[in-house]
Structure 1
Amino acid sequence: MTSKAVVVAVVVTYNRRELLQTTLAGVVSGTLVPDAVVVVDNASTDGTADYLRSYEGPVPTDVVTLNTNVGGAGGFVVGMERALLDHGADYVWIMDDDTEPQPGALREVLDVSEAYEQETGDAPAFTASRVVWTDGRDHPMNRMRPRIGASEAERSVASRVGAFQIRSASFVSVLIRAAEIRRHGLPIADYFIWNDDLEFTARVSRRGVALATNASVAKHHTKVFGDAGADPGPRFYYEVRNKLWVYTRSNALAPWEKVLFTGASLRNWTRTIASSTNRKVLLAGFWKGLRHGLKAPRSNAAVLEGIYALRNVQDPAK
């Protein structure tokens, strides 16, 4: 399939210069390359800024250097807005700096998205790649949530275009329609790390279609093979606080989904704490996350004040 759509890749990076090089190499060497790449540097201190100043790739690259680390969530807010307003994106292809898209990653998600639209007249909100670890195993951190209640007809049409229906995805090689970002707003910057992708992708797909395809593959270069409960340490705070925000402050999930997912989270948190060798740290993060989760996240403008001035894409945290 030949597409005339404008695709802009967005990569958020922080102190992982070598991994970023692998990410950019994968982005620009695929069988289909984006029209532009936006790289958001979250105030790295490891030489990333110097590398990006001298970087000359075959695809136009727009580097946004922030003076404060606002996490992956804040970085994606900045990068996605830049892709829409400065580069006229029809699709935004997003990923972290530990993602290595394989050669056919972009072509396959775009082909699936356009084939589904041609088949049904209704474009999917986003299409996600299969995410594997460095050894090729499916990465448990990036499990796709299947769409519960999808009809046989809906599953069938997805299958015909080489995909399956999902409810949410991680920000590791996911192709999002720009129109959906404009309709539903940007991610919420105050999440900082973790679950910003769950909240955003569930929000845009709640009343729309979201797909994943195994034909598109991206490697996720995490240090360990496991999900967020494998070794969370102090970051467990963000897992707890942000999940509470998803369940109590966001319209991303239907009421019945909130009940179902809350139960699953409570089970997972219990197992994570019980199996930890440093329960004191996790318990401290758990109670702090509970306290802070009672207060709504700040607006994107408040989080990014003095760092980056947002313009015309709606802010869901207001």
Structure 2
Amino acid sequence: MSPRVAAIVVSYNRRALLQECVEALLAQTRPVDTIYVVDNGSNDGSREYLASVAAQHAKVSVVLSESNIGGAGGFAKGITTAFAKGFDWYWLMDDDAEPMPDALEKLMVSEDAARADVVALCGSVWGIDRRVQFWHQGAFDERMRLIAPTPEYHKAASFKTDYMSFVGACIRHEAIQRVGFPAHEYFVWNDDVEYTARLSRIGELRCVTSSHMTHKDGENRDATDRPRSLHDWFESRRMPAATQWKHACGLRNYVDMVFRHRGRAPLWAASLFAKRLARVLLFGDRRFSVIMLYVRYFQQAVGQRKFDTVRPTDWKRTLAKSDRTQPAASGVPR
């Protein structure tokens, strides 16, 4: 009997990208059995689109969240919902991912899918520039720093990896039974790395390189182009206050992940936060609110406070309030 596969898509206010993702899932050469779309409280027409497509396609199931619970909360909610139906595999992706027509087929017919010791699969992830985004899989060093694979790895039919992103991760049902669900409290960033690190403790993770997924986030973190001037160098390292809600959140989650898997190291964590704050003060908008955000998240990371994520809308209001009381200073020379 062919294994039953549920696709799980998490979306928030990106209707056009969501439509491209859903259409690609509906067009798979190896059909997906059910497509669960978790909508995180969108108000851009995404919900109306989902209601329409669900009315046309019985295999599309919409899971609504009344508020933005982040990617981490969305995947936890989606996996929990689909898991209760008892599929064999759960194929995860954000709304900015577009699987190629044979992406699922390549995963399911691979030798790795037939191995009982393989608990999760993924494919190669490509950017909109048609270059492989190597950082979606990789290895850990002794302190769980992420080491991306070299291009040679992608020349093999498949390779072993210590972690994989939720841009195409396909997880076996029995593995979820053993390790539980993703850390919903992470909100955004590193929830996929922490979760697949858990999976790697009970079995093998494999990247099937013939299966392709396009990731449309518009960023190539593996780009090697070097700044051509001092000004370009400063610009490439800018830390604008508007983005710090997610960067601070990601650092908090990374420290928590290391504590979970490698043991507590408060002094090491303090050094990471200190380095990040130094960079913010040198290259970012020097705002008291940004400093206090990192202090707050450091306390959460080391267990002094309960996880409590600042939502992007709340952060925007915080910055708007600070704009009315003090001017922002820039660390970029003109």
TM-score of the aligned structures, taking structure 1 as reference length = 0.76
C-alpha distance in 1 between matches for 2:17 and 2:301: 32
* Alignment-mate amino acid for residue 136 of structure 2: R
- Cα gap change, 1:264/1:24 in structure 2, threshold over 3 Å: closer, same or farther? farther
> Which residue of 2 is the match for residue 247 of structure 1?
258
Out of 282, 292, 295, the residue aligned to residue 300 of structure 2 is: 292
| Residues 35 and 59 in structure 1, CA contact (< 8 A), matched pair in contact too | no
2:169 aligned counterpart, secondary structure = strand
Q: Does 1:224 align with 2:219?
A: yes
| Residues 127 and 218 in structure 2, CA contact (< 8 A), matched pair in contact too | no
2:300 aligned counterpart, secondary structure = helix
C-alpha distance in 2 between matches for 1:50 and 1:83: 22
| Residues 112 and 206 in structure 2, CA contact (< 8 A), matched pair in contact too | no
- Cα gap change, 1:50/1:144 in structure 2, threshold over 3 Å: closer, same or farther? same
Q: Does 1:278 align with 2:275?
A: no
> Which residue of 1 is the match for residue 207 of structure 2?
212
Compute the displacement of 1:270 (Å). Answer: 7.6
Compute the displacement of 1:224 (Å). Answer: 3.1
* Alignment-mate amino acid for residue 69 of structure 1: N
1:66-97: CA deviation from partner (whole Å, max 9, x where unpaired)? 111111111111111111213x2100001011
> Which residue of 1 is the match for residue 316 of structure 2?
none
C-alpha distance in 1 between matches for 2:200 and 2:178: 11
Q: Does 1:238 align with 2:234?
A: no
Compute the displacement of 1:53 (Å). Answer: 0.8
> Which residue of 1 is the match for residue 139 of structure 2?
146
| Residues 95 and 173 in structure 1, CA contact (< 8 A), matched pair in contact too | yes
1:173 aligned counterpart, secondary structure = coil
TM-score of the aligned structures, taking structure 2 as reference length = 0.72
> Which residue of 2 is the match for residue 19 of structure 1?
17
> Which residue of 2 is the match for residue 116 of structure 1?
112
Q: Does 1:137 align with 2:131?
A: yes
1:93-131: CA deviation from partner (whole Å, max 9, x where unpaired)? 01011111111211112222xx1364xx53311011111
- Cα gap change, 1:51/1:182 in structure 2, threshold over 3 Å: closer, same or farther? same
1:76-95 aligned within 5 A: 76-86=75-85, 88-95=86-93
C-alpha distance in 2 between matches for 1:230 and 1:214: 34
- Cα gap change, 1:97/1:264 in structure 2, threshold over 3 Å: closer, same or farther? farther
* Alignment-mate amino acid for residue 61 of structure 1: V
| Residues 236 and 282 in structure 1, CA contact (< 8 A), matched pair in contact too | no
> Which residue of 2 is the match for residue 55 of structure 1?
53
Give aligned pairs, total: 277
> Which residue of 2 is the match for residue 70 of structure 1?
69
| Residues 16 and 97 in structure 1, CA contact (< 8 A), matched pair in contact too | yes
| Residues 162 and 200 in structure 2, CA contact (< 8 A), matched pair in contact too | yes
- Cα gap change, 1:59/1:110 in structure 2, threshold over 3 Å: closer, same or farther? farther
> Which residue of 2 is the match for residue 38 of structure 1?
36
- Cα gap change, 1:11/1:159 in structure 2, threshold over 3 Å: closer, same or farther? closer
Compute the displacement of 1:255 (Å). Answer: 5.4
C-alpha distance in 1 between matches for 2:298 and 2:196: 23
Name structure 2 gaps, 5 residues minimum: 143-152, 223-236, 308-334
> Which residue of 2 is the match for residue 174 of structure 1?
169
| Residues 277 and 291 in structure 2, CA contact (< 8 A), matched pair in contact too | no
C-alpha distance in 2 between matches for 1:225 and 1:161: 22
| Residues 37 and 59 in structure 1, CA contact (< 8 A), matched pair in contact too | no
| Residues 154 and 209 in structure 2, CA contact (< 8 A), matched pair in contact too | no
C-alpha distance in 1 between matches for 2:159 and 2:184: 29
C-alpha distance in 1 between matches for 2:20 and 2:191: 24
C-alpha distance in 2 between matches for 1:272 and 1:22: 37
| Residues 116 and 161 in structure 1, CA contact (< 8 A), matched pair in contact too | no
* Alignment-mate amino acid for residue 101 of structure 2: P
1:220-249: CA deviation from partner (whole Å, max 9, x where unpaired)? 11143337x98643211211211121122x
1:185-204 aligned within 5 A: 185-204=180-199
Which moved further from structure 2: 25-34 or 7-16? 25-34
Name structure 1 gaps, 5 residues minimum: 150-157, 299-318
Compute the displacement of 1:294 (Å). Answer: 2.4
Whichever of the two has the greater Rg, that structure is 2
CA RMSD across the alignment: 3.3
| Residues 9 and 92 in structure 2, CA contact (< 8 A), matched pair in contact too | yes
Compute the displacement of 1:138 (Å). Answer: 2.0
2:253 aligned counterpart, secondary structure = helix
